[in-house]
Amino acid sequence: MGMSVGADPKTQKAALEGVMPWLAPAGLAVEALAKLDRPLLAWMRDPEFHLFDSAAHYTEYEEEPGGLSRLEKKIAKLPPRPEWAMERVWTPDAESGEAYEAAYEKACVTIGGHLLHPRDFDAYTAIAYKLADLTDRDGDFDPDDLENEADLVRGDLEAALSWAAAGVCVLQQSLPYPFRDVLPYGDTDNRPAHRLVFAYASLLRLKNPRQSAAWFTAMVYFSPMDNMGARFFTPGRSSTPVR
């Protein structure tokens, strides 16, 4: 998107509403990008068959208690947008074959003292959550025991944010900026990107709720079906039940 040189701040802000913010690489992110042999592939699917109609999607929920939120009403007015798909690198698990495990290990590099595949979004997310050591990820978590959300963090929030930010910077190498299209959660290969952005926004919210709002809002724009529940952390959030 091109913006006029010298455009006033309000005009620029309006032009970028709903766009995932650009995160300037710093610290650990610089190291991760230096170890990145290539970005993950991302491509626009055939618009003839893969256009996401926000208006049609939200029509199903207009009659629910509370109706659509102000944000959802804005997104519902958008014209049909192209859907994108992403290459996925997944962390080996019990179902991974020996050949995949060997290929994954061969591609691993050391970043910030951790050995990981530099294109594995879930690895960045897992390390970030582990470093934050959030209480709400425990089975016996009771939200009534919290006096404020800062008490959620038992670990190192700054270190956790650095890892999530590094993953987001890797993601930014794959998608055009500003990204105004749709990255469907229904495509399982796209889900690591959703989990990563949600992790960054959630951790940032514990430090700076105002800054995190733009990330949650962007998630609803690029995924109106909002399977991660990002809309509940946007300004003027809706009380509409999770769907």
**124 assigned to some structural domain:** yes
- Confidence tier at 202 by pLDDT (50, 70, 90): very high
164's enclosing H/E stretch is helix 157-172
- Percentage, residues of the chain above pLDDT 90: 73
pLDDT higher than threshold 90 for residue 148:
no
Poorest-pLDDT segment among 38-42, 153-157, 158-162: 153-157
What's the mean pLDDT when you consider all of the chain? 88
Q: Can you give the residue range of the structural domain that contains 201?
A: 88-235
Sign of the dihedral defined by the CA atoms of residues 187, 122, 223, 29, in that order: negative
Please state the rounded mean pLDDT for residues 184-212: 96
> What tens digit of pLDDT does each residue of 133-144 get?
988 776 665 555
Q: Is 4 helix (H, G, I), strand (E, B) or coil?
A: coil
In whole angstroms, give the CA distance from residue 88 to residue 60: 31
Residue type, 191: R
In whole angstroms, give the CA distance from residue 166 to residue 124: 7
Number of domains in the chain: 1
- Confidence tier at 150 by pLDDT (50, 70, 90): low
> What tens digit of pLDDT does each residue of 60-82 get?
877 777 778 899 999 999 999 99
Give the global pTM: 0.87
| Residue corresponding to tokens 């919290």 | 146
In whole angstroms, give the CA distance from residue 33 to residue 171: 10
**164 assigned to some structural domain:** yes
> What tens digit of pLDDT does each residue of 205-238 get?
999 999 999 999 999 999 999 999 999 999 876 4
DSSP string, 95-160: T--HHHHHHHHHH-EEETTEEE-TT-HHHHHHHHHHHHTBGGGSTT--GGG-SSGGGGB-S-HHHH
Please state the rounded mean pLDDT for residues 177-202: 97
- Percentage, residues of the chain above pLDDT 70: 85
**34 assigned to some structural domain:** no
**212 assigned to some structural domain:** yes
Q: What pLDDT is attached to residue 152?
A: 84
> What tens digit of pLDDT does each residue of 2-56 get?
554 555 655 555 557 899 999 999 999 999 999 999 999 999 999 889 999 999 9
CB contact at 8 A, 204 and 211: yes
- Is pLDDT larger for residue 152 or for residue 29? 29
**24 assigned to some structural domain:** no
Q: What pLDDT is attached to residue 67?
A: 78
* Residues linked to residue 85 through DSSP beta bridges, in sequence order: 43
Q: What pLDDT is attached to residue 146?
A: 54
**50 assigned to some structural domain:** no
pLDDT higher than threshold 80 for residue 191:
yes
**77 assigned to some structural domain:** no
Burial of 71 (0-12, 13-18, 19+ CB in 10 A): buried
- Total residue count of the chain as it appears in this document: 243
Instruction: Identify each DSSP E strand in 7-104 by its residue range.
Output: 42-44, 51-52, 81-82, 84-86
* Residues linked to residue 166 through DSSP beta bridges, in sequence order: none
**179 assigned to some structural domain:** yes
Q: What pLDDT is attached to residue 179?
A: 96
Two tokens, residue 126? 């897992």
